[in-house]
Chain A
Amino acid sequence: MNEMKTYRYILAALFFISCFACNKKLDVLPQNNVTSIEDGDDVKALLYGSYSSLQGASGFGERYIFIADLLANTDMVDYVGSFSIYKDILNKNQTRESSIATGIWTNSYLLIEDMNIVLDKLDLVDEDERDAVAAEAKFMRGVAYFELVNYFAQPYSAGSTGSNAGVPLVLEPTYIYDESKNKPSRASVEDVYQQVIKDLTDAADGLPETADNARATTYAAKAFLSRVYLNMGDYAKAATMANEVITSGYFTLTSTYNQAFNNPSNSPEDIFGIQNTAQSNAGTSNNGLSTFYRYAYDANGNGAGGRGEAQVDANYFNYFDDPNDFRAGFVSDGYSITGNGGIYTLKWLTFYRVIPVIRLAEMYLTRGEANLRKGGAPIGGVAPLKDINIVRERSGAEDLAGVNGQDFVDERFRELAFEGDRLWTLKRLKSDVGDYSYDDPKLVLPIPQREIDANSNLTQNEGY
């Protein structure tokens, strides 16, 4: 071979190994994720993502509801399983490291971040849809802050709302993490409540009266506002909000109590409900309301698929004053996954069904109680006694002849047990929760330790 040819081969090989085009190949786009929010559809997709966040185990899919009931466990629910994180909540032994507190906290703020992005990128949405998108995003953000302030702060009823620590108020998106900017301190309980009212009021103003696919409506926002005002002891506003929902004409009580539960889509009574399917739910083996509340083996010992670790406390039945009350019998015998026999509520019996977040029955009880406590002419023109009896009659319980505040508390328990209401009712009325005073630090979740480690501006709750 002559030398020229050799050099040519060498140069060809050199060119080959230089691989000039290879550099471009290093730009690899993720194939399973979106990397930026670029148009109106992307913004709306983020908005819809919030429904998944509410559906998850750290939202209404389990913890927004179940943890309140475990904390308020007296005479209602027992946890017989082996997961120490739930046992700890039941026994008020939860620690700073509680993964339940961490889960509720991080999931709520993730939803808030998503909604902050939506509100920041509203310009990308078509003008005619913009207001509705903003209202729905504020509904979601308002709900998340309401749950956060309920779980991580002393109740509004404890007073000192301007100085009691609430949770950090983050209202701007985090596009790039900046240590100097992204370490907020806790806002006061009052500030958080005012933000919740602002968001939910804006939502009530901008949301439609009806919506497809069980999305939030103006009445869902008003129903949440009735809860907010009830917590604040603002009975006139609570009654007004409940009354607007009741008189809207869009909702009716189901004809029997059991029809309000285990529905494949919202019942006529559901003002806001979380939809579930076999493909989309909070879990069936380690998480999810039905996972815990459904017996693992039925009364005959046949495998049923739940964990069956949340059982009805025997004392629960003492609260019923009428043997014909259907609600007392809405239970079944069964066994937990480790063979503990017990009684199970049928509210969460079936997997993949709607989780009612706010039902019309609650609005009647709220209107009645708020009118009663407010005194004077009832808002909506319906007497409190009438409201409570509407709810009782549906379950075949005898009408009450007269009604007082405690009757409403007990009725809420009979009607709304296992739906996450009891703790907040006792707290707002400063009633003892079992052996614990309503403002006992152990009835407030700890600020997650990982959060305090990552953000030195946060203060821990008392008792942790």
Chain B
Amino acid sequence: MIRSMKFKLTLMALLLLAAAQLNAQQTRTVKGTVTDAANNNPLPGVTIKAGNSNTLTQSGTDGSFSITIPEATQTLIFSYVGYADAEVTVKDEMNVQLTTADKSLNEVVVVGYGQAIKKEITGSIVKVGSKDIRDFPAPSFESALQGKAAGVVVESGSGKLGQGIKVRIRGTSSISANSQPLYVIDGLPVTSSSLSDPTNDASNPLADINPNDIESVEVLKDASAAAIYGARAANGVVLITTKKGRNNQKTVFELDANTGLSNPARLRHFLDGKQYVDLYNMAIKSDAQYDLDNDISGYPDLETAIADYTDAYATYGISLSDLAGGADYNKINTDWQGLLYNRNAPSNSINLSATGGDAKTRFFASGFYNTQDAIVINNKFYRYGGRINLEHSPTDKLSFGINIAIDRSQLNRVTTDNAFSTPGQLVALPPIQPLYDPETGELNNNTLYPNSLFDAKYNSDRQVSNRTVGNVYANYNLLPFLSFRSEFGADILNLYQEAFQDKRTTDGAGVGKANNIIALSTSYNTNNYFTFTPKLGDKHKLSAVLGMSYLQNDTKQSLTNAEQAPSGKVQNLSGATSITFATSTNDRYNFLSYFLRANYVFNDKYMLTASVRDDGSSRFGPNNRYGIFPAFSAGWVLSEEDFLANSNTLSFLKLRASWGLTGNAEIGNNSYYSLYNISNYPELPGYIASQVPNPDLRWEKTAQSDVGLDFGFFNNRLSGEVDVYYKKTSDLLLNVNIPATTGYTTITKNLGNMENKGIEIGLNATAFSTKNFRWNIAVNAAYNKNKVLDIDGQIIESGFSLTQRAVEGKPIGEFYGQKYLGVDPETGDAQYLGEDGKPTTDYGSAARVTLGNSNPDWTGGITNTLSYKGIDLSFFFMAVQGNKVYNAAGTYQSSGFYNGFDNETTDMLKAWQKPGDITNVPRIGYFYATGYDNSSRFLYNGSYIRLKNVSLSYTLPSSFVTRLHLSSLRFYASAFNLLTFTKYPGDPEVNTQTTGNIGGGQDFYTIPQAKTFTFGINAKF
């Protein structure tokens, strides 16, 4: 290592000394405003770039700007999304108007450790702006990326609030290691994995980020873009940039308030009371008929058999009147499903910000408060917080600042889907069971399964997070072409969770229980780097970044469980008298990295980028601690070539290609050590061996090639990009099974490889554009195909109910099990594919085969935006194609009463009854039903098209709002998940295991997505 460091230092010194020979230039400062030509409204966030140099700024909220440019600069180029670029001759005071047009190529895009102009980028980066994020009614901003960014697959898993969200960029690139992307806020990598109760679903720490503070989200997809984050970039990188103030900008206040209401987007259909009684009687008849047909008990006739089976149901199962608690079951019709949802679950949000600046200081400050009730009972999310982004430039050479956000959130949770106590399982209760006990008038506790309304009423589970994410930085221009930036950031996340289970509830187990979790995660990170931008004349443009970064995370957690609570009045540890379990864990990891990147542009036509990063991590032993991650990319703007320059139709064409290596180390800490756990036998504390060492453990590496084409036609009225990529992950960090006779079951090893390949298409078209009316269409689509190439012949299984696997030659996450072939019309037996390829009715001897995959082939979205004067209407459809969803609860909901007297789905009424019946629902009956086992009978095509968002807004004319002393006023109304088209009988956007690599797409009483309406107002003054 020392040798390579010396080499690095020599390289740095040479580069910098060469640079120092170049001379400084004279500069001048230009000010002005940018407005919309159509309505004279100020345009904030317009990129202003000095012609033929790298100097950049953006306009403020009131459209004003100030830029210091080289004296020699002739023109400024103004660019803004959705507007035509304007190149304007430099004056001291400039008032520029932009007209709406094509998608801009001069937009500024944030890249790792710097920013770049879209036109000159050679990697694959997708940018999502604040407009798409701010009004989205989900606690966390990632939800807003769904369907907006090609190749970024976002699965929220359920309609519960604050749950972990599975994000996959260009497919799953690991098997045992985490495949979630790296999240970086203003240069600071942040904690994104759950710290809460490990027995419940993962929660989402990113929900602590206020979406309204976000200026833009850039997703770095290919290796060229991401490799600057080397070791942690194999799953892609999501860069979040928060809003900043501008120089010489009048202070603008912005108030945004909205209110909303939510209901389930899509429900499964269950039997009502009368149908339940019908199905129960059908089941008796079906069993009786089967007995008679097969001469099992030797009944003389069907009538006798039915009478006998009615008794048998009561004896071995339960009778209808017992279910109804002795009441008249014909008169009871309890809608248990209705009871688990909040009707019109409310949400409210208010956000106030101020932004501005003078000649030397710029600021953005905001505060927010928001409350949201989930569609499922007892699940709420509240939060409030504030942010200050402040920057000061005492001299031309120095600027420094701070970006800091502090917030508090509270999440009231329900239990995991696989618990009797979770509200989602209420649907299992028969509709002929009364809600209230007729004798006592109290909530019925004589239900078939534990009545989770008790848990909802008496239990609590509150998780409070306090979070501070911030960094301080200083930027010093050592020379006109060389600056040094130093950043120090910290992400401090403090979580406090208190849960209580009353003794009257299932989870309280007759004694009353309390749990407490305290978690403290502290990450600090420092980035220190030089930026080198020499002036090499008109044709050459070079910029380089060289620096280091160090990140250390300490996570400390304590967990205490107690029981024996005398009552439900004190709902914390002090209310439960006997501690049953208490422990604490401390974990540390760190990363030390050096990086270098150079971009070269020749004549605005040819671009080259090279980067290399050297990463070391505490997660690997001294033998293989460091990994080197290089990347190269090139771009060629064909439209600048003579043979295309004069084309009338083609306005822009760029070919890009990149190759690079990125790494993954998300395997948890201490994997290379030999480990012994502490054991706690009474009076004899001891050790138990837990891990066999692997001192040779090294980085998992992903090599990715990407070829892309960026194009614009008709003066960029139609523009877009197409990318094809191939990603190959090797040295997979795999938990490899070893013989347990060693005392250990797995060892973490580097073994095997896996590939992802795909294509991504983004199109943006202005279909119609006049002074007053504009219609814009944005389309994106992505296809990804994963394949496990080599895992040494192992089969790694996961999955909730129906097995899912990673197996060579197949994509990760394949469903594997018995294939259902429908019902034999003569016998009503469920048929499965047999080992011999022929149908069999014996489930035990059926073949286990590959049944499809939980990961989609195609994902995409279409957004239409229509604007007429101040009115904007947009509708956004998203689509997912090619995935399967398994209803793991099907074995209970559609077992024909074989697995219990749960309420069943309405399709069970179509069950087979007599020879000749053509149906897909096999014979029912508590004794002789078939088809109730896990099989493809409950596996569905999970493809869907969803009208994710429709929004309508009206911006009042500026002539009117100025009279109210406002600078702008906008009213808006939005609907989310309004329409869904799918073959899946429930909500297709479900995943009971939120973040695994192999398992996914399993529905187990999972709460569907919410259908939400919001109404809001936005004012600037």
Contacts and interface: CB of A to CB of B under 8 A. Distances in A.
Interface of A: 3, 6-7, 9-11, 13-14, 16-20, 22-23, 25-28, 30-37, 42, 44-53, 55, 82, 93, 102, 105-106, 109-110, 112-114, 116-117, 168, 170, 173-177, 182-184, 212-213, 215, 275-280, 284-285, 301-305, 337-339, 448, 450-451, 453-455, 458
Contact of B616 (A26, A32, A116, A177): A26
27 contacts: A10-B16, A17-B546, A18-B8, A18-B9, A19-B550, A20-B5, A28-B590, A31-B585, A35-B676, A45-B685, A46-B687, A49-B676, A49-B686, A50-B686, A102-B740, A109-B740, A110-B689, A275-B682, A277-B682, A279-B582, A302-B510, A303-B504, A303-B510, A338-B900, A339-B318, A448-B740, A451-B739
Contacts of A51: 679, 681, 684, 686
Contacts of B684: 48, 51, 213, 215
B659 interface: no
Interface in B515-530: 528-530
B204 to A, nearest CB: 25
A213 B740 contact: no
A49 B683 contact: no
A16 B1 CA distance: 17
Nearest to A7: B20
Given A279-B680, A453-B795, A170 B742 contact: yes
Nearest to A30: B670
Interface in B673-697: 673-694
Nearest to A113: B743
A13 B477 CA distance: 12
Q: Which 6 A-B pairs have the closest CB atoms?
A: A113-B743, A48-B686, A303-B510, A49-B686, A305-B509, A52-B679
A324 B580 CA distance: 40
B332 interface: no
A305 B618 contact: no
Given A31-B588, A303-B510, 16 more contacts: A13-B530, A14-B12, A17-B529, A18-B9, A26-B625, A27-B622, A28-B669, A30-B675, A31-B585, A32-B678, A35-B676, A42-B687, A46-B689, A285-B509, A303-B503, A337-B420
Contact of B737 (A112, A285, A305, A453): A453
B747 interface: yes
B38 interface: no
B632 to A, nearest CB: 23
Nearest to B511: A305
B359 interface: no
B674 A35 contact: yes
Contact of B681 (A55, A182, A304): A55
B742 A45 contact: no
B772 interface: no
Interface string B318-354: 1000000000000000000000000000000000000
B767 interface: no
A109 B679 contact: no
B529 A48 contact: no
Contact of A338 (B448, B616, B675, B794): B448
A105 B740 CA distance: 8
Nearest to B527: A17
Given A48-B681, A278-B578, A32 B586 contact: yes
Given A18-B5, A303-B509, A25 B590 contact: yes
B799 to A, nearest CB: 13
B20 A110 contact: no
B592 A25 contact: yes
Given A174-B743, A176-B692, A34 B529 contact: no
A276 B682 contact: yes
A174 B588 contact: no
Given A13-B528, A106-B745, A275-B682, A6 B547 contact: no
Contact of A17 (B1, B548, B580, B582): B548
Interface string B578-613: 111110011111101010000000000000000000
B510 A305 contact: yes
A53 B586 CA distance: 24
Given A276-B682, A279-B579, A454 B743 contact: no
Given A14-B12, A18-B5, A278-B578, A45 B681 contact: no
B737 A176 contact: no
B744 interface: yes
A36 B592 contact: no
Contacts of B450: 337
B618 A28 contact: yes
A303 B503 CA distance: 8
B918 interface: no
Residue in B479, B509, B616 with the greatest tally of chain A CB atoms within 10 Å: B509
Contacts of A55: 681
- Contact size range, B: 35 or more
A55 B688 CA distance: 13
A455 B692 contact: no
Nearest to B797: A97
B739 A455 contact: yes
A338 B428 CA distance: 12
B741 A48 contact: no
Contacts of A11: 13
Contacts of B509: 284-285, 303-305
Contacts of A184: 739, 741
A71 B900 CA distance: 24
Contact of B677 (A23, A33, A170, A455): A33
A338 B449 contact: yes
A276 B486 CA distance: 56
Contacts of B594: 17
A380 B899 CA distance: 55
A279 B592 contact: no
A14 B20 CA distance: 14
A458 B546 CA distance: 56
Contact of B680 (A18, A117, A280, A450): A280
A36 B677 CA distance: 11
A407 B909 CA distance: 55
A114 B687 CA distance: 9
B738 interface: yes
B682 to A, nearest CB: 4
A52 B681 contact: yes
B747 to A, nearest CB: 5
Nearest to A12: B484
B510 A26 contact: no
B616 A23 contact: yes
A51 B675 CA distance: 19
Nearest to B585: A32
Contact of A34 (B586, B590, B687, B795): B687
Contacts of B622: 27
B663 interface: no
Nearest to B740: A106
B397 to A, nearest CB: 8
B676 A34 contact: yes
B466 to A, nearest CB: 23
A32 B586 CA distance: 6
A157 B669 CA distance: 49
Given A14-B13, A35-B674, A175-B674, A26 B592 contact: yes
B213 interface: no
A301 B445 CA distance: 9
A26 B618 contact: yes
Contacts of A53: 679, 688
B617 interface: yes
B626 to A, nearest CB: 9
Contacts of B676: 33-35, 37, 46, 49
Contacts of A30: 669-670, 673, 675
Residue in B8, B744, B899 with the greatest tally of chain A CB atoms within 10 Å: B744
Contact of B687 (A13, A45, A116, A275): A45
Contacts of A20: 5
Contacts of B431: none
Residue in A49, A93, A339, A450 with the greatest tally of chain B CB atoms within 10 Å: A49
